[in-house]
Structure 1
Amino acid sequence: MTDIYHEIQEDIRRDRMKALWARYGVFLVALAALVVLGVGGWRGYSYYEAKQAAAAGDRYQAAAKLAEDGRSDEARAAFAAIAVNSPYGYRALARLREADEVAKTDQPTALRLYQEVADGSGDSMLRDAARVRAAYLAVDVGAPEDVRRLAEPLAAGGPWSALAREALGLSAYKAEDTTEARRQFEAIVADADAPGATRQRADLLLAVLPQAAPEKPAADKPTN
């Protein structure tokens, strides 16, 4: 009786499975096919992205070599092409290097390129690097408010603060605002985390800047 009972149970299971397969088999096959296609498509896309990134890396290295060899015009064109037609991670970096090359001969255009990176890059380090470089250029070819707009957000703290303060100090010095220039350079000298070269430059500039004029004592009010 036990064997017959088990056989009946097996028959019932088979009948149920047949019924389920007849009803849902097509959907299960379609789902399995979609999973296989999805995994294959994702792997194909990942391979394509890796290949594109490798190609962009090779082009970037070739452009950097042109810059190292002093072929600035060719390097500029190569970096510009990478910035237009490359995976996202290389675009801002290439635009930054393009601006470096442009700055050698055309500072206003370089300032615009730096500002594009500062306003559009998704990488905070690249944005901040572009801001600092733009601030230095703005000292020469921009207005004091341009320098403040670019540098002040970085001067409050962080790895770029000393360089941002240097740009602000140079801008103030150029505008003959000795008090503000001294304030920025003194902050750099007092910053133990500031790069040594930046502190030395600030120290030298403080040595040639006129001393701040002493504050005049308040005039005594006349007594009645």
Structure 2
Amino acid sequence: MADIFNEIDEELRKDKAQEWWGRYGKFVIGACVVVVAAAGGYTWFEQQRTAELRELADRYSHALTQADAGETDPALAALQSLSQEADGEGIAMIASFQRAGILADQDRHAEAAEVYAAVAADDGVDPLYRGLAELKAILHRSVAGEDTAALLTEIEPLTLDGEPWRYSARMVAASLAMGAGDMEKAKAYLTQVSDDDGAPNSARTQAVEILQAIGS
């Protein structure tokens, strides 16, 4: 008798399962298809992204090879194109920094400053590197002959405590102050560096040497 009840119970379970599958089976199948498609799409996306990044890296490497070979203009053009087409990628910023460096090496400081300024103004770039770009832009604008007093005002925020590039900014600010004839301000910036135990040793040593040279 128990076997009969077991058979009846099993048949009921089968009927309920078939009823459930008939009602919801298509949704289960659809969900499985979506999951498989999503996994496949993600894999394809990652493969495409890897290929794109590799292609960008190859272009950057080729531009550096051109620069080393003295093919400056093609290298600059390639780096500019790379920085524009790779917008949003870290390599775009690196290409811009490299391009500005090549321009500076050619004494084209005003052009180098423009490239650095563009990086500094890009909200997509990490604030750390935006600050460095701004500092470099001011430095090269100074070398290009811009008014040092005006640049001294612009650089001041970068010299404040807590700013990541404050030591370099203070050294540049000291140089600008000397160029503007404000020796007291120059000494103040140099002293900030020389008396700061947290400053890099090279910066502290240089600050002390300059202070001695200008008769602090």
TM-score (norm 2): 0.86
In structure 2, how many angstroms separate the alpha carbons of the residues matched to 1:170 and 1:117? Answer: 23
Measured in 1, the distance between the counterparts of 2:62 and 2:135 equals 26
Counterpart residue number, 2:121: 119
**Would the aligned equivalents of 1:178 and 1:210 in 2 still touch at CA under 8 Å?**
no
Partner of 1:80: 80
Deviations 1:55-93 (A, max 9, x none): 212222222233344433232122112112226121111
1:101 Cα deviation from its structure 2 partner: 1.6
Give secondary structure in 1 for the equivalent of 2:121.
helix
Report sequence identity in percent: 26
Q: CA RMSD in A?
A: 2.2
Which of 160, 169, 181 is equivalent to 1:176?
181
1:166 to 2:171 alignment: yes
For residues 123-150 of structure 1, give each alpha carbon's deviation from its aligned partner in whole angstroms, at most 9, with x where no partner exists: 2332232122112113334443444434
Give deviations 1:144-190, integer Å, cap 9, x for gaps.
34444345235423552211101111111111111100101111222
Superposed CA offset, 1:3-33 (max 9, x none): 2222222111111111112112222211111
Check the 8 A contact 2:138/2:151 in 1, yes or no.
yes
Q: Give distance in 1, aligned partners of 2:32 and 2:22.
A: 16
1:92-118 CA distance string (max 9 Å, x none): 111111111222342222212111111
Task: Return the offset for 1:204.
Answer: 3.1
Structure 1 counterpart of 2:135, from 132, 137, 140? 132
- Contact 2:101–2:112 under 8 Å retained in 1: yes
Show the counterpart of 1:12: 12
Indicate the larger mover: 150-159 or 80-89: 150-159
Q: TM-score, normalised by structure 1?
A: 0.83
| Unmatched runs of 5 consecutive residues or more in structure 2 | none
Runs of 4 or more consecutive aligned structure 1 residues displaced over 4 Å after TM superposition: none
